[in-house]
């Protein structure tokens, strides 16, 4: 079976669609982080993106590419949080109705923000129910268009625009570290890297307990795991997508894992030293290089995507003070 994988041209088109709509987020540096790693780190701050994560890029791009009839019918999706908010906000900006399937245990702030953007939220139990099955049923009943969180050409292309901006701003890099859930951000970033910085080694980073991506990458087949428990709630996907894996297998160097304890230390670093709020999932890439899971040579130029900043304040406070 050959799948039509997204290309860098799709990422370029997405960046045109997002021009003036998505924030061109800042790239931050830190003398402390550089001293600690011996490298030169460039943090692409998607925690400062609209709705608080890069997912706005893919969600907006996917809705923008619907036909007028499809827009009239409305959009349906499932998400543990940030894709939900992305679709809800993008739906509002396009004047398209949205229904979001969300796990019961998703962070309260994410549920509230999603409803705040005008979406209808329906909850399910992610340990006993399949969100794909529920979504399929609802799709049949309502005729709404399903925009999945990562395995979709326009979603992947939209997510790739963050890395595209990073390379445009800082030039070529030796390494790029990307948070990995279902692989939309990693696949899009890899497309941008291959085109704009061909020598750059691209790594995906996922929670140690949710290492389906690493196992898939190393075995060459998509591996499915039982939904993991980790504070990285945006990376609890049990398997990669067909499209995302197709790009990842071809264009990514390797997939690494970090522990929850390493994520907490990294989150504290961002709060204390850089004065920015980064959610646990958003710390995956940074933790890999700052906690030594990836050793880079002295002076290496390392790009790190900070994927999001949506935290439940109560949980954030508890993790910071632990
Ligand atoms: C969704 C999400 C990820 C993972 O993105 P994928 O495209 O599913 O791999 C990483 N970080 C944050 C903050 C997210 O919301």
Beta strands 40-45 and 301-306: pairing type? parallel
Q: How far is the CA of 255 from the centre of ligand 1 (A)?
A: 15
What CA–CA distances, in Å, run from 74 to 52, 142, 173, 214? 23, 9, 40, 35
Distance from residue 182's CA to the centre of ligand 1 (Å): 7
- Of 15, 40, 44, 80, catalytic: 80
- In this structure, the number of other CB atoms found within 10 A of the CB of residue 139 comes to 14
Spatial strand order in the sheet of 120-124: 120-124, 98-103, 75-78, 145-146
Q: Which residue lies with its CA nearest to atom 5 of ligand 1?
A: 181
CA of 234 to the centre of ligand 1 (A): 5
Q: Please name the fold of domain 8-52+153-321.
A: Rossmann fold (3.40.50)
CA atoms within 13 A on the CB side of 42: 23
197 flagged as catalytic: no
Active-site option among 55, 153, 201, 291: 55
Q: Residue holding tokens 């595209």?
A: 164
Q: How far is CA 172 from CA 23, 124, 127, 160, 195, in A?
A: 22, 43, 42, 16, 10
Nearest CA to ligand 1 atom 13: 308
Determine whether 55 is an active site residue. Answer: yes
Domain ranges of the chain: 8-52+153-321, 56-146
Mutate to test the pocket of ligand 1, among 58, 113, 179, 244 (most ligand atoms within 8 A of CB): 179
Residue to substitute in 88, 150, 181 for testing ligand 1 pocket (most ligand atoms within 8 angstroms of CB): 181
Give me the tens of pLDDT residue by residue for the chain, a chain 322 residues long: 568 999 999 999 999 999 999 999 999 999 999 999 999 999 999 999 999 999 999 999 999 999 999 999 999 998 868 999 999 999 999 999 999 998 888 777 778 888 999 999 998 988 888 888 888 888 998 899 999 999 999 999 999 999 999 999 999 999 999 999 999 999 999 999 999 999 999 999 999 999 999 999 999 999 999 878 899 988 988 899 999 999 999 999 999 999 999 999 999 999 999 999 999 999 999 999 999 999 999 999 999 999 999 998 999 999 999 8
Q: What is the pLDDT of residue 2?
A: 67
Give domain 56-146's CATH number out of 3.40.50.1100, 3.30.360.10, 3.40.640.10, 1.10.357.10. Answer: 3.40.50.1100
In angstroms, what is the span from residue 285 Cα to ligand 1's centroid?
A: 11
Q: Does the fold of domain 56-146 match that of domain 8-52+153-321?
A: yes
Pocket lining for ligand 1, CB < 6 angstroms: 53, 55, 82, 149-150, 159, 179-186, 234-235, 237, 279, 281-282, 307-308
Nearest CA to ligand 1 atom 7: 184
pLDDT tens by residue, 1-42: 568 999 999 999 999 999 999 999 999 999 999 999 999 999
């Amino acid at each position: 079976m050959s799948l039509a994988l997204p290309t860098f041209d799709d990422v370029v088109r997405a960046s045109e669609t997002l021009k003036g709509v998505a924030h061109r987020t800042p790239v931050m540096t830190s003398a402390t982080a550089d001293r600690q790693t011996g490298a030169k780190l460039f943090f692409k701050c998607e925690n400062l993106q609209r709705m608080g994560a890069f997912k706005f890029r893919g969600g907006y791009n996917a809705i923008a590419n619907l036909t007028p009839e499809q827009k009239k019918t409305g959009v349906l999706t499932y998400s543990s949080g940030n894709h939900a908010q992305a679709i809800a906000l993008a739906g509002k900006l396009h004047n398209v109705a949205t229904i979001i399937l969300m796990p019961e245990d998703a962070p309260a702030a994410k549920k509230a923000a999603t409803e705040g953007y005008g979406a209808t939220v329906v909850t399910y139990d992610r340990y006993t129910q399949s969100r794909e099955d529920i979504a399929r049923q609802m799709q049949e009943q309502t005729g709404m268009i399903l925009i999945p969180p990562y395995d979709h050409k326009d979603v992947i292309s939209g997510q790739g625009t963050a890395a595209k901006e990073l390379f445009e701003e800082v030039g070529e890099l030796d390494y790029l570290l990307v948070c990995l859930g279902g692989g939309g951000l990693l696949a899009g970033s890899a497309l941008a890297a291959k085109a704009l910085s061909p020598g750059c080694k691209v790594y995906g980073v996922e929670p140690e307990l949710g290492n389906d991506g690493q196992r898939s990458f190393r075995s060459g087949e998509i591996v499915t795991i039982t939904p993991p428990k980790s504070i990285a709630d945006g990376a609890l996907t049990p398997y990669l997508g067909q499209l995302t894996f197709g790009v990842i297998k071809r264009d990514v160097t390797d997939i690494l894992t970090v522990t929850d304890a390493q994520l907490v230390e990294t989150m504290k670093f961002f709060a204390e030293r850089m004065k920015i709020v980064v959610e646990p999932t958003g710390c995956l890439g940074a933790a890999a290089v700052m906690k030594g899971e990836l050793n880079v040579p002295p002076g290496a130029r390392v790009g790190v995507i900070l994927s999001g900043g949506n935290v439940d304040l109560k949980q954030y406070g508890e993790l910071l003070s632990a």
